[in-house]
Amino acid sequence: MVFLAAMALAAKLEKPPKRIVNRNGDTVFFPSSSETFDQGLLNGRKLASNSYCRDCHPDSFHQWERSAHRFSSFNNPFYRKSVELMADEVGRERTKWCSGCHDPVVLFTGQMGAATQAKFSYDSWEAQQGLPCMGCHSIVEIKDVGGNGSYVIEESKQYPFAFAKNETLKAINHLLIRMEPSLHRKTFLKAFHRTPEFCSSCHKVALIPALNDYHWMRGQNHYDTWYDSGVSGRAVRSFYDPPQAKACRDCHLPALRSAEFGNRGGFVHNHLFPAANTALPFVRGDSDTQQRIRQFLENKVVTVDLFALRRGDDVVVLGDRPPEVTPGEVLDLEVVVRTRGVGHPFTNGTADSNETWVSLEGVGNGEKFFRSGVLDSAGRLDPAADRLWTYVVDHTGAHMDRRQPQDIHVNLYNNGIPPGAARVVHYRVRVPDGARGSVELAAGVHYRKFTRDYTSFSLGAASPSLPVTTLAEDRVRLPVRGVNRKSKIGNGESRAPERGNPDKPWLRWNDYGIGLFLQGDLKGAARAWTKVALLAPDKPDGFLNRARAEIAEGRLADASVSLAAAEKIRPDWPKTAFFRAVVARDEGRLADAERDLTKVLAKFPLDRVAWNSLGQVLWLGGRFREAAAAYGKTLAIDPEDLNAHYNLMRVYRAMGDRRQAAVHAAAYRKFKEDETGRALAADLRRKDPWANRESLPIHVHEEAVPPPADAPGWVASLGEKGYETDFGYLTRAHPPIRREAVEPAAGPAPRSTAYEPVHLFRKPK
């Protein structure tokens, strides 16, 4: 008791760092969504006091200091050059849009605005801190799921002597934490830290008018794509569901064996946050981290399958007994890429600069006769390759290729593969006239964190190309009709290559159908899924998925037959009920549709599409108040849902509530894609035929020899260190940041009480 009383007295006498009084700094954090409770500044040394955490959590610290979070700010050359260019073009004020997630120490010490920009340095101590421990663990509120750093942070409460320089007092502080860790745990590990909604605050991006002087657009978005997938366990419509639902931390904060303070059963969460950034450890020379990230990526993130040859209307599967080919024959080859160990689209994140592609190589008589998806001598990717990335067009109609978020206007295409889905890549390959014995085809999926040109932009033209990680491979040997059909390998025995997709035939057909369906080949998908039903008559997947294609084609009677077959195999499956409700709605059987959707929502109460479907059924039945409530449930899950806003506009107009109708009309206009935007890409399509072809949902790769890859014009202007700032944010005038109108044109409206958001994590009042 005497000891505790003495500690209490000493704590009272201790003088912690004073709160920063803002005199010359910038406390307007907008256009970042991040903020402090009183909009005041924070103590940068305290916010980045990582060594304080290291004393008790050395293993977590050791992992974090090698992570992409540690190098999120101007200690990351790829990020730094992008922001330097952005600041020079549109001013440093706008770069605050990035800072809540990338540069919290710079932002919250008031060094991002006009008042401090003249003395700011990208090499300052604050600018080199990245995302520190307290950058996450001092967050006290997640405002919403809108992203862009949508959180509130504070200077966290500490035990006595947390800031003491005296070693004895520091030891007492550590002892107090170990004696009674509850306050420490409550302060730094809140319930929302374990949720995907917490991760969404930074791993979801909105491009706002204050940034681009154009239009609201959704950018990088790990959260919604995970939410709408089978991985989340919240959506009924997925093609595949994992045995157990997973959230962000299940993959990106895996268990790490550790005896540090706070471990659970000898394990802590791995604060390396393994993901896909192979560039940062490479440029640091951190081979151990580079290897660990590569192993993470190679662990069945995707698979590739040399699935079949198309001969007319026949699909000849490349299985245990591959078909014969003849010299000079033109092969239409179907390659299927399937996402597996990923809970969001592949690729995601910086999808406009991630370089992810599919390759195909053909070898006969010891010589390569077909090559697609290869790098040239300068390290540039074959422009005719099948790319799994997002091709972005800027405001001038050119390719946005230096990560300039303020210039993003429209996507020419987005070839990311959703989680638990597939993409079919179509190749046309001619067997050499002199082929004998056999020809071998090899397909691969490859990943490089940044393109060759963006690497030059960030590091200089003389910098080495970033490493390429091969995520998946598949090989098949096709016998050539005629003599010498056996191919001798090694010791003279004939051996088939190891295949990249060992799945059962029905699963391979199912993936093929998914890929065709997502490309819009509805008849091809229906035929593939009919084959699934024949190969696996005890599985409902073939019938259910065929119904998806039949519904999309408007063949509702056929879809009803397929759904009845799926129901017979697996009674009361919510997936069947959902699509049966779609058919019933389209046939005008509203009571049947409502009954099925009610069953679906009993098991999937957070499926926004199911709520939208119920809202539409109720709207069609003239039950406007109930429809408004259903659409309100959607907006409680996703406040940006276009379908819900549009239909609530109609519902409230039907009810005579013009003000509420105006609220949702304004939201619909805000979140809706600019329909004129795609016209801007017309000239680019003519100038870049490879990008134009890649934007087509169904296209064929038939170039046996890769065409040359040309460098963009700006590469020639780069210096030895890549892009070098001209301090344009100081020397040029930049327009003021636009503020978004809060109220719709119809005038002020009371806040809707039809729904309450379900993902708010607010500090108790």
Residue 7 reports pLDDT greater than 70: no
Q: Does position 19 have pLDDT exceeding 50, yes or no?
A: no
Q: Which of 156-170, 278-292, 309-323, 371-385 has the lowest mean pLDDT?
A: 156-170
Question: Is it the case that residue 747 has pLDDT exceeding 50?
Answer: no
Instruction: Compute the distance between CA of residue 612 and CA of residue 618 in angstroms, rounded to an integer.
Output: 10
* Dihedral (CA of 558, 562, 563, 567) sign: positive
pLDDT (0 to 100) of residue 741: 55
Mean pLDDT, residues 310-332 taken together: 95
280-482+500-504+697-701: in CATH 2.60.40.10: yes
Q: List, for residues 525-576, the tens digit of each pLDDT value.
A: 999 999 999 999 999 999 999 999 999 999 999 999 999 999 999 999 999 9
Q: Which CATH architecture has domain 521-605?
A: Alpha Horseshoe (1.25)
**Element of type H or E holding 392:** strand 390-394
Q: What is the model's pTM?
A: 0.92
**Mean pLDDT in the chain?**
90
**Do you know the residue count of the chain?**
765
Structure tokens of 477? 């040997």
Task: For residue 609, give the nearest of 248, 348, 338, 232 by alpha carbon.
Answer: 232
Residue 286: what are its φ and ψ, rounded to 5°?
A: -90, 85
b/e 479-488 (16+ beta carbons within 10 angstroms → b):
bbeeeeeebe
Please check whether residue 17 is in contact with residue 43, taking contact to mean a CB–CB distance below 8 angstroms. yes
Q: What is the pLDDT of residues 178-195, one digit of tens each?
A: 888 888 888 899 999 999
Where would I find the H helices in 604-641?
608-620, 624-637
SS3 readout for 435-478 = CCCEEEEEEEEEEECCCHHHHHHHHCCCCCCCCCEEEEEEEEEE
Structure tokens at 305: 């399958």
632-682 residue pLDDT tens: 999 999 999 999 999 999 999 999 999 999 999 999 999 999 999 989 999
Q: Which of 145, 147, 112 is nearest to 33 (CA)?
A: 147
| pLDDT surpassing 90 at residue 730 | no
Q: Checking DSSP bridges between strand 390-394 and strand 408-414, what pairing results, if any? A: antiparallel
Q: Which pLDDT tens digit goes with each residue over 668-697?
A: 999 999 999 989 999 999 999 999 999 999
Number of H helices, E strands in the chain: 30, 19
The share of the chain scoring above pLDDT 70, in percent, equals: 92
DSSP, res 500: S
Assign 179 to helix, strand or coil. Answer: helix
Question: In 3D, which of 460, 130, 466, 417 has the Cα closest to residue 293?
Answer: 466
* Structure-block tokens of residue 540: 């409902």
pLDDT score recorded for residue 137: 95
Helix, coil or strand: residue 211: helix
Per-residue confidence (pLDDT) for residue 4, from 0 to 100: 52
pLDDT at 373: 98
CA terminus-to-terminus distance, the chain? 33
Alpha-carbon distances of 359 from 252, 347, 383, 385, 446, rounded to whole Å: 28, 16, 12, 7, 8
Q: Number of C-alpha atoms within 13 angstroms, CB side, residue 475? A: 10
Residue 237 scores a pLDDT above 50: yes
pLDDT of residue 99: 95
SS3 of 33, please? coil
Which residues of 83-177 form beta strands (DSSP E)? Answer: 139-142, 151-153
Question: For the stretch 613-639, what's the b/e string if a residue is b when 16 or more beta carbons lie within 10 angstroms of its beta carbon?
Answer: bbbbbbbeeebbebbbbbbbbbbbbbb
| DSSP assigned state of 719 | B
259-281 per-position pLDDT tens digit: 999 899 999 999 999 999 999 99
Band of residue 114 on the pLDDT scale cut at 50, 70, 90:
confident
Calpha distance 54→133 (Å, rounded): 10
How do residues 138-154 score in pLDDT, each as one tens digit? 999 999 999 999 999 99
User: What pLDDT sits at residue 330?
Assistant: 97
- Give residue-wise pLDDT tens across range 202-226: 999 999 999 999 999 999 999 999 9
Domain coordinates in residue numbering, the chain:
2-233, 280-482+500-504+697-701, 521-605
Fold agreement between 280-482+500-504+697-701 and 521-605: no
Q: Cα angle vertex 80, ends 79, 81, to 5°?
A: 95
